[in-house]
Structure 1
Amino acid sequence: MHSTQRPTRRAEIRALTGLRLVAALWVVAYHLGTGLQSSVGPAVEPLMPVVRAGWLGVDLFFVLSGFVMALTYLDTMGPRFGWRRSGVFLWARLARVWPLWVLLTLLFSGWLLISDRGLAGPPGHQRVVEPLALLEQLFMVQMWHRDEVWGSTFVLAGWSLSVEMLAYVCFPLLVLVLWRLRRLPVTLLAAGSVAAMVPLAYLAYRTGAEPEALPWTLRIAGAFVSGGLVCLAVRRLEGSSAALRWSPLVAALAVAHVVFVCLWAATRAQHQPGHYAGVATMLFPVLVGALALAPRGLATLLSGDTAVLGGRISFALYLVHGCVFEIADDVAHWVRPLNPGTPLWALVQPGLVLASLLLAWVLFRFVEEPARGWMRRIGPSSGARRGDRPVAAAGTGGGTVALPLQRPVARPVAAPPHPHRRPATAPRAAAVRAAAVAARDLRPPLADRRSAVGG
C-alpha cells in the first residue's frame, strides 16, 4: 500500500550521475595505463590492477543504461506495445548520441586521412578510411554484423555506441517483459539482476579472454536485463526504512569487492591479468541499486557538484578521450623528444587527461546539448501532457541521470490511485462525487451503455 498522494516530480539521482564520471574515468585510465606504466613504472604499479580492469567501465555504463531506461519508460511503454511510443523513444535516444558522434567521427576520419594510419593501420587494427566503413559508423550499425571489436570503428569507443543502439532498438520489447515481472518478490528481482551478469563473469573466470574478444551480444544483453531487473527491485524498495539504512553499507561493500576482484585478477596471469576482472561485473547491479537508494555515504560523495558535472559530460569524455590519445600518439612518433617511453612523454600524460576533460565540457556545452534540443524540436512528439514522465539520459550515450521518481509523502493509509491517473485533491474528489450523483438519473440503462460510450 502507498500513500493517497504520490506526486510525480522530476528528480535527478545525483549519485548515479556521479557514477557515470567514475565509469568514464575508469575507461580513460584503462586506455592511458600501458603508456603511463611504461613511462612512470613502479610509481603507478600499486594502481595497475584496477587500471587494467578499466575496460569494465563500459559494462558499468551498460548496466546504468538498462536501469535508467527501465525506470524512465516502464510505466509508459510497459503495459502494451505502441509503434508511436517506440518511435519517439528511439528518436530521443538518437537526439542524445547522434550529433556528437557524427561530428567526432568525421573529424577523426579526417585526421586518419592525413596521418600514417589513414594509409595503413597496425596489424589486426584496420584504420583505413573507406566510404562504406565510414557510412556504417555514421549510422551506428558497424557492430551489427561483426563478432569482434577490433577494426570496427575509427573513434576508439564507437563500438559500444553501436551495440547500445541495437539494445535501444530491442528495448520496446524488453520493457514489455519487465512490466510483467514488476510484481515479483524483491529478493527474486535482485537475484535475477545478478544472475543476468553471471554468464559474462563465468566466461571471464574460465578463459581470461581479452575484452575485445568477449561476445559483445552477451555483454550488452546481460547488462541491459540486469539493469532493468534491479530497477524493478529499487522501485519496490523505495521508501523502505531498511533499504535506507543498509544501502550505504551495501554500496561501500560492492566497491570494496570490485577492487578485491581486480587485485585477485592480477594474480591469475602474468601478461594480461586485467582480463579475469570480468568476474566483477556481477557486482555492478548491486552497486547501482544501492546507490539509487542510499541517502548518505558513497552516494553523498558522488552527488557533489563536481562529480555531477563530470557525469553530465561523461558521454563526450568517453568519446573524445580516445581521439586525443591517438592523435597524441601519432605526434609522439613524429617528434623524437616525445617518443613513447621518454621523460617528456611521461610528463604530458596528465595533460592528455586534462585536455580530454576540457574538450568534453566544450563539446557537451556547445554541441551535445544544443544539437539534442534541436533534434527533439524537429522530431516526433510524444504528445505528453503536463505531469507526464520526462525522458532520462543513460548509458554510454547519456548525460544526466534525470529520473522521474514517485516517493510516498506519508505513511500508507489507503489504497493507491490508478497508476495512470493524476491523484485528486479532497475538494476535487468531492466535486467529482457531487457531479456523479447529479448525473446519475441521466445515465442510460445498463444494457444501452456500451453503445452510449462507443464500446
Structure 2
Amino acid sequence: MGTLTALTTRTSGRDDAAGPTGMTPAPTTPLAAVPAWASSGSALGATALASAPAAPSPTVLPLPRRRGTSPTPAVSVPAPPRPPSTPDAPVLPLTRGDIPQLTGLRFVAAVWVLLLHASYVPGDVFARWTAPIAPLVAAGPLGVDLFFVLSGLVLTRAYLERMGRRPSVRGTLRFVRARVARVWPLYAAVTVAFGLWCTARLAFGHDGVVTWQNPQPDLGPLGWLRQLTMTQLWDSRGIEGISFVLPAWSVSAEWLAYLCFPLLVLGAWRIRNWPLPVLGALAVVAASPIAVGSLMSSGSGETGAWAWALRIGGGFTSGMLTWLVVARIERTPRVELWAQRLLLGVIAETVLVAYWAASAPASAAIPAADRLWFAVPMFPILLGSLCLARGGVVRFLSHSRLQHGGRISYAIYLVHFPLIEITVVAMTRFPALAPNSSLAALAVPHVLVGSVLVAHLAYRWIEAPARRWVGALTRS
C-alpha cells in the first residue's frame, strides 16, 4: 500500500459549451458571387447545393473595390462546376453546437486518467497487460492538463461575444449559474457518497486510513463545507489530502478558473484581432509555466508547491488564446491538409515525450515526473489543429460512440477513483482478492469497464437531470 500511497501524488477536469465566436475574420474579396443560401453554411444551403441542377447558372464577378464602395459589375461568365462534397470532413461550427472531435477527445483524456489510476492497484496484473504502452499510461496526468486547455477553448468560444464586449454583473451571474449547473450536481453526489464511505472507514476501520492519500483529507464540518463549495484546493500548496475523491482537486481548480473567466474574457475580447502569429505564440507561452517550473523544481515535479496553479492558470489561458486563433482561420482544403499534418506531428511528439520520461534513470537531472510537463506546451497546437483538420483522426474522434463517451467523460473522471479505492480496500480485507490472485486478476478489467458503465448511469440518472433542474432553479 505504500507504493499506492506514493503513486497517488502523480494524479490528474472538462467542459462543453457552444455559442457565438465574437471574432472579426480577416476581410476577403469573393472571387464569385454566390446565392446567400449557398454561402451561409446552413443545412438548407448544403441540401440545396446537393440538389442543384448540373447546368451552371451565369455568375457575376465583382471587380476589386476599396472599402466602403459598391461592387462594379463585370462580364457574366459561367460558374465553374463545384467539387463533390466530402462528408468525411465535418465543418467546424463556429457559432453553435459542439465541435465533435473535441467531444471525442474528452473521452480519450478521461480514459487516459482512468488507466493511470488503475495502475495504482496492487499487484502486477495490470502492469503485465499494459506493458507495451506503460509509458503512455504513466503519462496519464497530462490528461488533466488537456482538460484545462480544452476548457478554456470551449468557454471562450461560447462566451467571448456575450461577455467580452463590456463588464456586466448580469452576464457574470448568468455565466456562474451555468457553470454551477454544469459541474456541481454530480460532483456533490459523488463527494457526499464517497465522503460517507471515508467516514465509515474511520469509524469501523482499524488502521486509521480513510483514503489512500498522505495526508488524509479533513472529515470535520469545515472539511465538508469546503468540499461541497469546491474551494478545498485554493489555499493548498499541493493536491494530496485535499479532496475526498483525489481527482476532484482539478474540479476545485476549474471552479477557480470559472470565477476568473469574466475578467479574462474582457482581455481576450480586446486582443482578439492581434496578429495571428502573436496570438499563436502567446497560446504556447501561456501553456509553458509548468514545463519551465519543472526545470526549476529540483525534481519535485507535480508535488512542487503551487504546481496546480501553474497547470490550471497556464492551461486555461492557453485554451482561450487558442480559440482566438482558430476562429479567425478560414477553413480551406489547404488549411485542413496542413492542420492534419500538424496534428499528427504533435501526437507523435507527445508520445515521444511520454516514452522519454519513462526512460529517465533514477539519477537523471530531470526526473520522469518532471519530463512529462514538456508535452503541455504542445496542447494548444494539438487542439487548434484538431479544430481545423480533417482525415482519420477527426473521423475517429467524431464517431458516435466517442461522442457519447465525451458526454459522460466528466462522470468517468469523478466515479472511477472511488471504485478503484473500494477495490483496493477489498483486496486488503479478503484473502481471496489478494494482489496477484486469480480473482484480483479478474477484478482489474471489471473495474475499468465498470467505471464506464457507472459513469453512463450517473450521467443519465444524476448529471443530466440535475443539470436541467439546477439550471431551471437558478434561472427562476
Q: Find the partner of 2:334 among 233, 239, 242.
A: 242
Give the distance between the partners of 1:309 and 1:230, measured in 2 at CA: 25
Distance (Å, rounded) in 2 between the aligned partners of 1:330 and 1:43: 22
Q: In the alignment, residue 345 of structure 1 is paired with which amino acid?
A: A
Report Cα offsets for 1:160-201 as digits up to 9, x if no partner. 101110100000000011111111111111111111122211
Q: What residue is the counterpart of 2:133 in the other structure?
A: 47
Residue 140 (structure 1) aligned with residue 230 (structure 2): yes
1:13 is matched with which residue: 94, 99, 111?
A: 99
Structure 1 Cα separation of the partners of residues 286 and 158 of structure 2? 21
Q: 1:209 aligns with which of 295, 300, 304?
A: 300
Aligned partners of 1:117 and 1:324: how far apart in 2?
20
Q: Which structure would you say has the larger RCO, counting Cα contacts within 8 Å and 6 or more residues apart?
A: 1
Which protein has the bigger helix share?
A: 1
Instruction: State the Cα distance separating 1:377 from its structure 2 match.
Output: 1.2
Q: Which moved more, 1:81-90 or 1:289-298?
A: 289-298
Output the CA distance in 1 between the equivalents of 2:203 and 2:327.
49
Alignment deviations for residues 186-218 of structure 1 (CA, whole Å, 9 cap, x no partner): 111111111112221122345443424361111
Tell me, yes or no, if structure 1 residue 31 matches structure 2 residue 117.
yes
Which residue number corresponds to residue 20 of structure 2? none
Distance 1:369 1:123 in 2: 30
- Match of 2:220? 130
Matching residue of 1:254: 346
Q: Which residue in the other structure is 2:251 paired with?
A: 161
Scaled by the length of structure 2, the TM-score of the pair is 0.76
Q: Relative to 1, partners in 2 of residues 1:332 and 1:59: Cα closer, same or farther, differing over 3 Å?
A: same
- Distance between the aligned counterparts of 2:249 and 2:143, measured in 1? 14
Q: Does the CA-based 8 Å contact 2:302-2:369 persist in structure 1?
A: no
Return closer, same or farther for 1:18/1:200 CA change in 2, 3 Å cut-off: same
* Unmatched tracts of structure 2, length 5 or more: 1-26, 31-35, 43-93
**CA distance in structure 2 between the partners assigned to 1:95 and 1:123 by the alignment:** 29
Structure-2 residue corresponding to 1:178: 268
| Deviation, structure 1 residue 131 | 1.5
The alpha carbon displacement at 1:127 in A equals 3.9
For 1:195, give the aligned amino acid.
V
1:224 to 316, 324, 327: 316
Are the structure 2 counterparts of residues 200 and 210 from structure 1 closer, same or farther at C-alpha, using a change threshold of 3 Å?
closer
Q: RMSD in angstroms over aligned alpha carbons?
A: 2.1
Unaligned runs of 5+ residues in structure 1 are 382-455
Return the alpha-carbon distance in structure 1 between the equivalents of residues 396 and 122 of structure 2. 27
Question: Does the CA-based 8 Å contact 2:123-2:436 persist in structure 1?
Answer: no
Provide the C-alpha distance between the structure 2 equivalents of 1:17 and 1:117, rounded to a whole number of angstroms.
Answer: 42
Contact 2:213 2:240 in 1 (8 A): no
Q: Distance in 2 between matches of 1:67 and 1:40?
A: 34
SS at match of 2:214: coil
Note the C-alpha offset of 1:36. 7.0
Question: What fraction of aligned residue pairs are identical, expressed as a percent?
Answer: 38
> Does residue 366 of the first structure (1) align with residue 461 of the second (2)?
yes
1:248-306 deviation line (CA, Å, top 9, x unaligned)? 11111111110000111112234972442111001111111111111222111100011
Q: How far apart are the structure 2 equivalents of 1:83 and 1:353?
A: 44
Residues 26-425 of structure 1: pairs in structure 2 closer than 5 A: 26-35=112-121, 38-116=124-202, 120-121=208-209, 124-127=214-217, 129-206=219-296, 207-213=298-304, 215-270=307-362, 273-380=368-475
| In 2: Cα distance, 1:37 partner to 1:180 partner | 54
Report what 2:9 is aligned to: none
The size of the alignment, in residue pairs, is 381
The amino acid that maps onto 1:320 is: V
| Residues 232 and 252, structure 2, Cα contact 8 Å, conserved in 1 | yes
Looking at structure 2, the residues matched to 217 and 210 of structure 1 have their Cα atoms a distance apart, in angstroms, of 13
Aligned residues of 2:119 and 2:127 also touching (Cα < 8 A): no
Q: TM-score, normalised by structure 1?
A: 0.79
* 3-state SS of paired residue (1:11): coil
**SS of match in other structure, 2:107:** helix
After superposition, the C-alpha distances for 1:100-148 in whole angstroms (9 at most, x for unaligned) are: 1111111111111222588623672304522210110001011111111
Distance verdict in 2 for CA 1:185–1:106, change over 3 Å? same
